[in-house]
Chains A and B, each alone.
Chain A
Amino acid sequence: MRKVIAILPLVFTSLLVYFLTKPMGSIPALGKLLDPVVGCWASAESVNKDYNNKLQLDGLKDGVTVSFDDRLVPHIKAGNDYDLYYTQGYLHAYFRLWQMDLQTRAAGGRVSEILGDKALKFDRTQRRKGMVYGAEQSLKAMEADPRSKQMLDAYTAGINAYINTLSFKTYPLEYKLAGFEPEPWTNLKSALLLKYMADDLTGYTEDIALTVLRDMLSPEEFAALYPERLHGVNPVIPHDSVKQTASLTAPAIPADSIAWAHLTATDFEVEEEGKGSNNWVLGGSRTKSGKPILCNDPHLGLNLPSLWYEVQMTAPGINVYGVSLPGSPGVIIGFNDNISWGFTNNYRDVKDFYAIQPTSATTYKFAGKEQPYINRVEKISIKGKPDYYDTVKYTVHGPVMYEETFHGPGGLKKPIAVTWMAHRPSNEVLALYMLNRSGNYNEYVAAIHNFLCPAQNMIYADRHGDIALWGQGQFINKWRGQGRYVMNGTDSATLWGQNIPVAENPHAHNPAQGYIASANQTVTDTTYPYWYNGYFYEFRSWRINDVLRNTRNATVEDMFALQNDVYSVLASNVLPVMLTHITPNEITDKERNYLNMLGSWDYRLMAESKAATVFQVWWTNFYASLWAKRFGKIPDQLKPSPERTMQLLKAESQYLGNIKDAVVASLRNSIDSLEKLKKADRLEWYKAKNTSVKHLTKLAPFSYSDLKIGGWGNTVNAAKSDHGPSWRMVVQMGDAIEAYGVYPGGQSGNVGSKYYAAFLDKWVKGEYYKLSFYTADAKPAATYTWSINPKNK
């Protein structure tokens, strides 16, 4: 008996330890997490941490020096290309491993391995849209060129050199929280990451929705509400550019009965479309210094760890500075000794859908014959559950994304296949390799012609004074209307035709107007010879063009101001119209109080403006009221665009119904929301919209919210609630390059580091860091230095 009792404490201890070392549901193993030696505490980095280091790494060819400046931006100096990308991989992994691991797993549909079956639908979607298939295609192209192959091999080796040093203790905290482990990096993962970006930027589509809307509305009505091209735009390629000629003739338009499919989905799932970007460049004729100034602010998800990692990379033949994407080698947006460049999303439609007519379980109808599907079995591992096998049927058009076993939007069961430029082989890594080394306009053009998907408006300036922009990507010579709606997949006339030669992509080189600006607007005017459609946004472009048209003697400070501009073109156009429909003696006192706030408003969505909140709430309700009758439950994103609505409103279009009724009703409806905001002390615009920079897990203690920043998606400073300027850059291309930048994050991905969100304050305030760009022979002023040498040498 004594012995039995003696066992009891042992049992208690064992039970406690058992529960502490075992994860329960989404709660991690607390014993491991709270272990003072190897748990979360290992991530508590001293604020005075000495980053100086001497490393011996396996596989490096020569010595490398990394000089970190006071913001922890590394300036890598290597003796050859291999070592350069090896070191970049090592640094990315050292500071950002968890994020690049998670993002590539997400790209490839492998989140269920970590989160269990709640992520199964997401993973199946990724697999069914062909993310892994596309990455495999591109990887073949990347590994076929010795330059990009070496770049990827070196980068992967550098990442793995770091991963191999890790133990549980040194894992990034998020691995301990979610209970998974880093795995070896591969070149395919880098390809997947680039497809992740391609999906983010070209994945958005309205084809299915427009198919239903077209059948729902009369042809006149549809054309008025959803014009193929909006009039009154400032296209990316200025009107005074050299007109593009076409070497290909447009394919014949098939009869409607052959071309189109008809769908019956009535309910739409639409993702919030928040991506946008601005870039512009001023030629020397418009700047004070007489040298070009290039500006770029890509708007992407505002996340921590940040999407971007700042770096300078120097080796024989290359000296480049800018932001890189952890997971991909090279610099994406930046400048070198001679040129600077930036990207905005091009938004030409490169993703089309086809209705498939199955003839049996294994065949479908195409060109009058039965064709067999090519099956690709996707194995999805699920944490705590048996593996799931999803058979994806590949047709001549591409993978069947939706079908009976995987419904599309609104329970759509009809088999729909997707043709997508991201499925085709392309070598964006080579494009970056060449672009990072380009010294002049011709080299830049040769470099970017390898960049096929996601299509980007690639802006350019150099020290010789040249400015340029290319709407670069691989596009298809389409017949008029092709791919705007879901097509009939049984006829070969609907297949994608020839590639448009990339040299015939829209471009402008030193246009007479002295500047070029892109902000996701319509790419060209009607003189462009090839037909295309897309998802274009005009408000920011209208504003930027209005400002730049009148800009002379511009300084970098003027450019800072424009990047942080919060003037709402929408408000300045619609609010005066809305107010004319208000009869003062027909409104309540409360309504009058709010309207009074708008009286002296300058249409700027300033952080502390209450008028901005009143307008935004009222406009949202007004827009919904205007279209309520015609569109019923259809979500806002699929209603006629705000740009088109604004034009119709100013023209008092018959399609809008009774405008006065909508104005009055929407004002009445807005009062409740406004009163609620007022009571909660959230009437100031920045509180009402709540711009947040969230950790990728969305965990609030790792995130920042209620940031005091103005603007909205339709102002130049496009700070929405979870999307916004992810990197603001201004570069003046003088004899010495003068560059400024800031991003809403920090160089370290470690939530326990003071560098985790170190730049956020400056970003919120619209301030910039002067970037320390060292010439190839200069010795950087280093706060910390890493001396890296090959092992066994």
Chain B
Amino acid sequence: MKQTFIVSLIIIGLGAIFSLFMTGMWLAIVLPSTMMIAMQIPGRRAFGGGFIGVAFLWLVLILIKDVPNHHILSSRMAGLLGLPNSAMFILVNVLLGGLIGGLSGWSGASLNKAFRK
């Protein structure tokens, strides 16, 4: 559990720095799997760590834009996706990031296991 937490914290920290020159999508794909391979983290925790890490990273990145924007954009985007309000839109957006991050973490862990003797 502690491990999962540490992993997600590192993802968030590195992600925040890398976001200056990488897209959020690439961060979500590359960071968790690299982390899991590097830290030799097993499957389920790898998914959890990747999920929580990226979801939280995306939430931070989104809030940095959304709060000073007074939710103008997120409310409109929520409308486009048929969602009731900007909070729901952010939630969907964050869960999507989590899903990518989780799968990426799991992939890293599986590769680890497959190639470890």
Contact = CB atoms under 8 A, between A and B. Distances in A.
Given A2-B114, A6-B110, A20-B25, A13 B104 contact: yes
Given A9-B107, A9-B110, A40-B77, A47 B70 contact: yes
Contact of B23 (A8, A37, A173, A699): A37
A12 B43 CA distance: 14
A702 B23 contact: no
Chain A CB within 10 A, most for which of B27, B75, B76, B113: B76
Contacts of A2: 113-114
Contact of B24 (A8, A10, A35, A177): A35
B94 to A, nearest CB: 9
Given A46-B69, A700-B79, A12 B103 contact: yes
B69 A752 contact: yes
B65 A702 contact: no
Contacts of A51: none
A701 interface: yes
A39 interface: yes
B107 A46 contact: no
A16 B99 contact: yes
Given A36-B58, A36-B93, 12 more contacts: A2-B114, A7-B110, A10-B107, A12-B107, A34-B93, A36-B61, A36-B97, A37-B19, A41-B62, A47-B69, A48-B68, A177-B80
Contacts of A173: 73
Contacts of A752: 69, 72-73, 76
B100 A36 contact: no
Nearest to A3: B114
A17 B79 contact: no
Which interface class (under 10, 10 to 19, 20 to 34, 35 or more) fits A?
Answer: 35 or more
Nearest to A695: B76
B114 A41 contact: no
A513 interface: no
A751 B66 CA distance: 13
A35 B15 CA distance: 13
24 contacts: A2-B113, A2-B114, A6-B110, A6-B113, A9-B110, A12-B103, A13-B106, A16-B99, A20-B100, A31-B100, A32-B25, A35-B24, A36-B58, A36-B62, A40-B77, A45-B69, A46-B69, A47-B69, A177-B80, A751-B73, A752-B72, A754-B70, A754-B72, A756-B72
B22 interface: yes
Given A3-B114, A9-B106, A34-B96, A40 B73 contact: yes
A509 to B, nearest CB: 49
A2 B68 CA distance: 49
Contacts of A38: 23-24
A579 to B, nearest CB: 45
B31 interface: no
Nearest to A168: B23
Interface of A: 2-3, 5-10, 12-13, 16-17, 20-21, 30-32, 34-48, 169, 173, 177, 699-702, 751-754, 756
B114 A6 contact: yes
Contacts of B80: 177, 699, 701
Contacts of B111: 6, 10
Contacts of B103: 9, 12-13, 16
A756 B73 CA distance: 11
A41 B66 contact: yes
A639 to B, nearest CB: 39
B110 A41 contact: no
B72 A753 contact: yes
A43 B100 contact: no
B7 interface: no
Nearest to B58: A36
A701 B76 CA distance: 5
Contacts of A17: 25, 29, 100
A37 B110 contact: no
Contacts of B58: 36
What 9 A-B pairs are tightest by C-beta distance, nearest first?
A: A701-B79, A6-B114, A752-B73, A46-B68, A36-B61, A44-B69, A44-B73, A6-B110, A44-B65
Nearest to A28: B80
A694 to B, nearest CB: 13
B25 A31 contact: yes
B72 A47 contact: yes
B19 to A, nearest CB: 5
A43 B73 contact: yes
A41 B25 contact: no
A150 B100 CA distance: 52
B74 interface: yes
Contacts of A6: 110-111, 113-114
Interface string B11-34: 000000001001111010100000
Contacts of A751: 72-73, 76
A8 B110 contact: yes
B58 to A, nearest CB: 5
Contacts of B77: 40, 701
Contacts of B106: 9, 12-13
B97 to A, nearest CB: 7
Contacts of B73: 40-41, 43-45, 173, 751-752
Contact of B65 (A5, A34, A36, A754): A36
Contacts of A3: 114
A42 B69 CA distance: 11
Chain B CB within 10 A, most for which of A37, A45, A700, A753: A37
Contacts of B97: 36
B32 to A, nearest CB: 10
A6 B42 CA distance: 12
A39 B19 CA distance: 12
A169 B65 CA distance: 13
A39 B107 contact: no
A5 B43 CA distance: 12
A12 B99 CA distance: 11
Contacts of A702: 76
A13 B103 CA distance: 6
A285 B104 CA distance: 79
B62 to A, nearest CB: 5
A753 B68 CA distance: 11
A434 to B, nearest CB: 41
A35 B66 contact: no
Contacts of A20: 25, 96, 100
A17 B104 CA distance: 10
Nearest to A700: B79
Contact of A13 (B79, B93, B100): B100
Contacts of A31: 25, 96, 100
B31 to A, nearest CB: 13
Contacts of B72: 44-45, 47, 751-754, 756
Contacts of A44: 65-66, 68-69, 72-74
A32 B29 CA distance: 13
A752 B65 CA distance: 10
B6 to A, nearest CB: 21
A41 B61 contact: yes
Nearest to A13: B103
A35 B76 CA distance: 16
Nearest to A45: B69
Interface string B76-106: 1111100000000000010011011001101
Nearest to B113: A6
Nearest to A41: B65
Interface string B25-69: 101010000000000000000000000000000100110011011
B67 to A, nearest CB: 9
